[in-house]
């Protein structure tokens, strides 16, 4: 199936591509930000688990406060 390439169709196609490109760029940038946020939250979770483990170990061994 072929479409006739009239000037109006070309103009609409160019406009659609321009709109798609402007909408696509911020989405990829926000994906990078959310990936960074996920990494920071993962590191925070690791640090909290380590802190909880140290507190639990200190309580289990009845060590004095640091």
Q: pLDDT tens for residues 11-66? A: 778 887 877 777 766 555 555 677 888 899 999 999 999 999 999 998 888 866 66
The token pair that represents 58 in the structure block? 């200190």
Instruction: List the structure tokens of 38.
Output: 């996920």
The model's pTM is 0.46
The 3-state secondary structure of 31-54 reads HHHHHHHHHHHHHHHHHHHHHHHH
**Tokens encoding 23:** 């909408």
DSSP state of 6: -
SS3 59: helix
- CA 45 and chain centroid, separation: 17
């Amino acid at each position: 199936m072929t479409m006739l390439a009239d000037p109006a169709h070309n103009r609409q196609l160019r406009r659609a591509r321009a709109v798609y490109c402007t909408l696509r760029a911020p989405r990829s940038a926000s994906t990078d930000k959310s990936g960074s946020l996920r990494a920071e939250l993962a590191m925070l979770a690791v640090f909290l688990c380590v802190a909880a483990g140290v507190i639990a170990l200190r309580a289990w061994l009845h060590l004095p406060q640091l």
